[in-house]
Structure 1
């Protein structure tokens, strides 16, 4: 019984101040079995006396071929009806000059073929007191299982006598599962090891298929990662913090869910949860699937992405209630930025944790990328204000947009380098040059045509820069759309092939990496080696881009009642489907001819 101050009726304790009816479906619950056996080995049973609660240390030990212990029929673990026998050496007969050789534990590392989010299960017939320890990893390190460096996810189960099934209370994300048998004096019979998938039950309504196999593969791993990042909430990655990061979700995940699945329920839940986590500063908490009161490290540009996402959600669904309900929160985000607008009409020295991207972008002074994102949020806010009949806010946003448009290129153009500098700090152009600082202004129309052409040539054609900061996969949603806006869809496809194709697909990725290197980051300006996730939805923008941008689709009226289509005529044939609320909008480019189909209730305008 929960003892509340005035009532014993739950919920009487925070953070569950108000429960709401479930408005999303239950997750899928489908069993899958390992795809292959990665390694069978045995390890000396040595206690981790310093950190006994950390199971990952022993699980990460590199073993040797099974000789003293027993693991018979390991190949049967790949199916449901097999039988595997495991047993530790407990009274070994081997001795070396009278010394006891110790106890050896058998273990097996299983590969499920791709990263999954699931409840692992094992059915065994065991003896009381025997233990199994299970470790989880997205990837191998130097060819071996190691989850002690980061993400020390592991479980221990102590057996009772007889037949029993173990599963942890929460789902876990992994590709590789290592199970080690400890203290098993008697033989343990393993009936099966499997995993029950736990993901949001999306239907694959949107689609992309083409004559370009690299693009096909990029689309598949991007869409697969959207599924991995969708459970009871949307998240950056299911492997590490499992957090509903504001910018990741608003900028990349939600638009891709519209295009691929056409299910707005989980995006709607995200918008509501994010709004409920707004700080007094007006910025929204970085993470909204948990209570986070850290206002000082809020990412302000992520709050801007949420404002843009609110308008996008309305345009996709046509449901006015979203704008009515969350207008106050959107307004506070914009009001929280106005104090940082200087006499040049630009945001200067934005405080809190200005982020933009996991990259070495100069964010000081008047930052090109940040001001472009602010412009995009002002544009969305002005439209929301007009919808609400708030002419004062609409005019204020439009006036601020005019200031950015009039001064950003003027203040940040570097004629010598033929592009925009990352920042103008006290009247001096930064030495930093980045894709973020150039293509965000292009996306939002803040560069004139000559400057746009010059920037594209400088980066990708003449290639006159000695060096520049690449956009990481998250910010590529801006770069790709900017190139498309500038009429260089060909370059956008080139970047997808080069970056996702060569750096992920060609390396065997089954889902998209967090950064271009799986083994470290350039975010500080120099390479630092540490694990990057193999399942990061903020890197999945090709899932939307290869549908919506290939079709040249623009939502012209709320609820997709009217859409404009300007399909691309590419060197390869393709078919694409966009999952609108009313049904699928289809475009096919085949044998030099375009074919367009749309369901009833959608007016299609084709130039």
Structure 2
């Protein structure tokens, strides 16, 4: 695989040494616990539960012999980190909402010993400072043993708790929308060091207060009262975590020994000294910083995290360059207590390439023993392959995958640094990428369900979810429907899609009610975002809210066509017939009112004053443009002259329009924006062209998907990926190798040009899969196993 080409044996050995040994999640779940838990939610007895606070919970218990397994189920509000006998186990819970409050099922048996043991958890509530993605009811922690043996550690008043006075929130003030939670000010002198270790003193700990038993969803059969947290099982795996090192010290205000970032030597900073050190991770990452220090009582250490540095005018420029630039970002402040080998770890992870340490010592020297971080993210495995012998395409592949990984955690994220919110517009693209590259659809299914969970009486899904701050972008409800259609094609899971059809029909009905007498949409409420276009107000195309919008009308048609397929499959024939007619009426209205024959384009409104790639892309994708005019229209869209341009995000739909008009061979010629980002030193792909807020934005990683589905040409040929179409489009490439994971095995292609217009090579399919190979106007049948291609 391209990303593996550059990894040496030494690097692999080093990474293996840094890998953390953690508890494994388990599917074991006592059926008795589906209706009632014996364990209670517990909290600190002196708090209301809605204020900022960090709480340390623990319980000491005995086991007669070391168990082979010891299954527990764990959750908290807002978050927890779990320890057994002083060893870090995992963190959670996976994000949800009050009606879908996740819990983790863990086997902690390997961490237990015969005799005395201690299980402990740090639980925090960021209250009004919490991330927008974080729902909350009240501070609490719950742990339920799976059987009678494990229930000796069920949470109740025998647990002890301490409110830590070591933390206070540091609100983040950036000139951008930033909603991922506060920084942390940490006072080492107020912290109960080693509180989670066996034999640690209980000074200051008090008996926990019970709030009431845990309530699983299936246990709510009487009276209909909604408990504070309705417990449901986590449906995704635990996050990947491994230790990692900084690549370099990029600058320092004084000469220093740089060995501390490698853990080989300590850095001693003299008393009454001010020191600034800028570290470079080498590439963007999501990680928990881990700073180990000694002595330094009275000192202050400020850690500032940034994706990139900026010049005096706030411009980022080349991300590799640090000269004449400064760091601006979120931060933590640490006050050492003077003890030895203290390790500070942030409660929540940070996104960074650059980290700056601003240190000021007082009367005692400060020793920095080590500084590293623990990477975290969804455990996607890169199974797909794309090889062309073109280094730039290899780089685009690698950077796209890193972008995907950093935008994937307990949910998909639009961006890790600023929002960490799962928006439907971004998520559709992420789902396609992650399915094609990893074959893992658990996070995809989780996203579909999350958006469905957000559905309410308005008749729309929320634009982003989980989110305690409701937001409605009606066009994103349309995108959610297309996500369901994509899922239908990629996986055989009719139960999931069928169960969401009532919500699909409600979204379509919301739009139908807003069609005017001319069968166009225009006067609509909420944020009708389509794309970030400089000439548009907040991403809203012309005609919305006042007259008529060809753009939104055609997006509705595009979605209706996919929804009609779903209706026909899942038992809604009358609705399918109705909405097929609605789509055709809108198409007729658009062709009558918005087609500009002189310009050969569809206008954004019937007035004909504004034009965009977006409107014409939807005209192509929906088949509103006739076959006779589509080729010329696509050429005009690609040229983009005198029309609002598509951003990195909407380029996904531009490339889909290439597929619709049989112009896929032009795809590789349209990668200039991604090549420009590489030249600027980005290690992930940005939200938009400079000036950009985010250097890592999920919707910009789409090249990975098109490399596999368009260049290699691997696509499902019907529902459930039960058959495959391989229709490669090499453009100017002499050859390509690719592989895509399928539920039944790997689909592999190895092809090269034959003469001026032919192709030859092999297509390897899983034994049970069949399909079709298409090259131009010629087709070949594909069988399971090896297929020789020569056209």
Count of aligned pairs between the two proteins: 537
Equivalent in the alignment of 1:595: 762
Q: Structure 2: any 5+ residue segments left out of the alignment?
A: 1-41, 44-48, 50-136, 139-209, 217-224, 312-321, 755-759, 774-778, 780-791
Compared with structure 1, are the counterparts of its residues 153 and 190 closer, same or farther at alpha carbon in structure 2 (3 Å cutoff)? Answer: closer
CA gap 1:558/1:157 in 2 versus in 1, 3 angstroms:
farther
The CA distance in 1 between the partners of 2:339 and 2:357, in whole Å, is 19
Write the distance in 2 (CA, Å) between the matches of 1:126 and 1:14.
Answer: 51
Contact 1:385 1:393 in 2 (8 A): yes
Q: How many Å separate the matches in 2 of 1:15 and 1:550?
A: 51
* 1:513-570 Cα deviation digits (max 9, x unpaired): 00022x24xxxxxxxxxxx211100111111011111233332233211112212243
* Secondary structure of 1:595 counterpart: strand
Correspondence for 1:72: 256
Q: Does 1:564 align with 2:733?
A: no
From the superposition, tell whether residues 591 and 384 of structure 1 become closer, same or farther in structure 2 (CA, over 3 Å).
closer
Comparing 548-557 with 153-162, greater Cα deviation is found at 153-162
* Alignment match, 2:245: 33
- 1:59 is matched with which residue? none
The aligned residue for residue 341 of structure 2 is 163
Aligned 8 A contact 2:542 2:610 in 1: no
**TM-score, reference length from structure 2:** 0.65
Rounded Cα–Cα distance in structure 2 between residues aligned with 1:208 and 1:271: 28
Bigger strand fraction: 2
- What runs of 5+ residues in structure 1 fail to find an aligned partner? 42-65, 90-103, 521-531
Q: Does 1:551 align with 2:726?
A: no
Equivalent position SS for 1:239: coil
Matched, 1:9 2:213: yes
* Alignment-derived partner of residue 83 in structure 1: 266
1:581 is displaced (CA, Å) by: 1.9
Whole-Å separation in 2 of the counterparts to 1:384 and 1:459: 30
Does residue 366 (structure 1) correspond to residue 548 (structure 2)? The answer is yes
| 1:115 alignment counterpart | 284
Q: Is the 8 A contact 2:245 2:281 kept in 1?
A: yes
Residue number in structure 1 paired with 2:584: 402
Q: Which residue of 2 aligns with 1:356?
A: 530
- Residue matched to 1:220: 398
Aligned residue in 2 for 1:18: 230
SS of match in other structure, 1:440: helix
- Cα gap change, 1:584/1:153 in structure 2, threshold over 3 Å: closer, same or farther? farther
1:422-443 Cα offsets, whole Å, 9 max, x none, are: 222xxx21x2222112112212
The change in CA–CA distance for 1:549 and 1:591 in structure 2 (over 3 A counts) is closer
Shift of 1:599: 1.1
Mean Cα displacement is larger for which, 585-594 or 472-481?
A: 585-594
Counterpart Cα distance in 1 of 2:256 and 2:712: 55
- Would you say the 8 A contact 1:419–1:454 is kept in 2? no
In 2: Cα distance, 1:165 partner to 1:223 partner: 32
Note closer, same or farther for the CA distance 1:594–1:342 as it changes in structure 2 (3 Å cut).
farther
1:336 aligns to 2:510 (yes or no) = yes
In 2 relative to 1, CA 145–117 (structure 1 residues): closer, same or farther, beyond 3 Å?
farther
Rounded Cα–Cα distance in structure 2 between residues aligned with 1:438 and 1:87: 65
Counterparts of 1:324 and 1:456, CA distance in 2? 35
TM-score for both structures, normalised by structure 1: 0.83
* Deviation (angstroms), 1:220: 1.7
State the Cα distance separating 1:491 from its structure 2 match.
2.8
> Per-residue deviation at 1:145?
6.1
Tell me the distance in 2 between the aligned counterparts of 1:577 and 1:366.
45
**After superposition, what is the alpha-carbon deviation per residue over 1:140-170, rounded to whole angstroms, capped at 9, x for unaligned?**
102366454xx53434343342221111011
Deviations 1:9-58, CA, capped at 9 Å, x for gaps? 146999963221122111111111111112212xxxxxxxxxxxxxxxxx
Instruction: Determine if contact 2:558/2:621 at 8 Å carries over to the other structure.
Output: no
Larger relative contact order (CA 8 Å, sep ≥ 6): 1
Task: Report the CA distance shift for 1:20/1:86 in structure 2 as closer, same or farther (over 3 A).
Answer: same
Partner of 1:72, secondary structure, is coil
- Residues 392 and 17 of structure 1, relative CA distance in 2, 3 Å threshold: farther
Counterpart CA distance in 2 for 1:537 and 1:14 is 36
Alpha-carbon offset, residue 275 of structure 1: 0.9
Q: Tell me what 2:485 maps to.
A: 311
Q: Aligned partners of 1:231 and 1:415: how far apart in 2?
A: 48
- Report deviation, 1:321: 1.4
Secondary structure in 2 matching 1:19: strand
Larger CA deviation: 590-599 vs 110-119: 590-599
Could you list the per-position Cα deviations for residues 304-346 of structure 1 after superposition, in whole angstroms to 9, with x for gaps in the alignment? Answer: 0001101211221211111232122222111111111223333
- 1:463-522 CA distance string (max 9 Å, x none): 7x3x322111111110011012212223322111x11112x11211111000022x24xx
Aligned residue number for residue 384 of structure 1? 566
Q: In the alignment, is the contact (CA less than 8 A) between 1:129 and 1:158 conserved in 2?
A: yes
1:177 is aligned, of 317, 337, 355, to 355
